[in-house]
Structure 1
Amino acid sequence: MSTPLEGSNLDQTRHDIQQTRAELGETIAALTAKTDVKTRARTKTTSAAGSLQQRITQAGQSAKTRATQLAHTLSQKASQRATSAKQDSQHIVGTIRGSLTAGAQTTGKAESTLTTSARAAATTKIGSLVHAKSVPVVAATTTAAALVVVAYRRRWFR
């Protein structure tokens, strides 16, 4: 027959059994996690979606920065063209005034009539200069900014 185990051996054996059961439970949980394809697929999908969202956010910020830089550059060019048109118009007004003075002296006409006529001519000339130089710049700016945004979005959403 068997002899009764001493108290410490019995406690040690019980402790070993509990430890073995815990290790076996952990092993089963690890094997279950590895064979759970659905959960692993969800984890991968969630990770990929997070990565994609981050890339989309970065792309949006990059596109916004580039569009802002382009708009600033085009605004500077438009301002330079407007300044050039203003200087051209001032030159034309000075030339017309000189012509008016000379014309009034040689023809004897009233200066007020010539001044009115010259102002109308200068206004027409200035308007055409500003219109000819500013509108294409503004149109080009708007078109370029729109094209940059569309091209950038198409590139990231293919």
Structure 2
Amino acid sequence: MSTPAGSSDPDQTRRDIQHTRAELGDTIAALATKTDVRTRLRTKTTTASDELRQRVTQAGQSAKTTAVQRSGMLSQKASQYATSVKQKAQQATTAMRGSAAGGAQTAGKAGSNLVASARGVTTRIGSSVRAKPKPVLAAAGAIATLAVVAYRRRRPR
């Protein structure tokens, strides 16, 4: 009340009362807000959850960006490695084909030489057996007898 004591202006007194009532109403509203714990907690919870959602969204976007970048790098490296392996495999295949062709020619020559040599030995043995059959038969009988004796000695009784 801003009116001095003894002032008798009723309009001024009414204005002072209205002003005091408005101030008192504001003070009560402020006190009610401070004492309303449930509403304050809801406000804090809402604010915290909004901040958390924002952080999670940013982290997700950051992780997605990083994953896309790394995926591209890995794909590029894998492609380069595959190309390198393919080239090395082609070189090795070419070298093996050349080696195999040379080896086949050498093996073919050696095989035909071996076959010719075996035919020559067989022919010589056949002609010597026809010329002197008794010594060959005696030698074959002696070898067979030795084989039977050796077999009986080794066999457990």
**Normalization by structure 1: what TM-score?**
0.55
Question: Residues 127-142 of structure 1 correspond to what in structure 2 (within 5 A)?
Answer: none
What is the Cα deviation at residue 94 of structure 1?
Answer: 2.9
Question: Which residue does the alignment assign to 1:47?
Answer: 47
What is the Cα deviation at residue 23 of structure 1?
Answer: 0.5
Q: Which has the higher contact order (CA 8 A, sep 6+)?
A: 1
Question: Residues 2-151 of structure 1 correspond to what in structure 2 (within 5 A)?
Answer: 5=8, 9-99=9-99, 102=102
Q: Tell me, which stretches of 5 or more residues in structure 1 are unaligned?
A: 109-158
2:29 partner letter: A
**Normalization by structure 2: what TM-score?**
0.55
Cα distance in structure 2, aligned partners of 1:10 and 1:61 = 68
Question: Which residue does the alignment assign to 1:116?
Answer: none
Which has the higher mean CA deviation after the structures are superposed, 50-59 or 24-33? 50-59
Task: Map Cα deviations across residues 13-40 of structure 1 (whole Å, 9 max, x no partner).
Answer: 2111111110000000000000011111
Cα distance in structure 1, aligned partners of 2:70 and 2:60 = 15
What is the Cα deviation at residue 90 of structure 1?
Answer: 2.4
- Report the count of equivalent residues: 101
Cα distance in structure 2, aligned partners of 1:96 and 1:38 = 83
Which has the higher mean CA deviation after the structures are superposed, 18-27 or 54-63? 54-63
SS at match of 1:58: helix
Cα distance in structure 2, aligned partners of 1:23 and 1:17 = 10
Q: Tell me, which stretches of 5 or more residues in structure 2 are unaligned?
A: 1-7, 110-157
2:17 partner letter: I
What is the Cα deviation at residue 70 of structure 1?
Answer: 2.1
1:60 partner letter: G
What is the Cα deviation at residue 68 of structure 1?
Answer: 1.5
Cα distance in structure 2, aligned partners of 1:53 and 1:105 = 76
CA RMSD between the two structures: 2.3
Cα distance in structure 2, aligned partners of 1:103 and 1:52 = 73
Question: Which residue does the alignment assign to 1:149?
Answer: none
SS at match of 2:30: helix
Cα distance in structure 1, aligned partners of 2:52 and 2:41 = 16
Cα distance in structure 2, aligned partners of 1:79 and 1:90 = 16
Larger Rg: 2
Cα distance in structure 1, aligned partners of 2:49 and 2:95 = 68
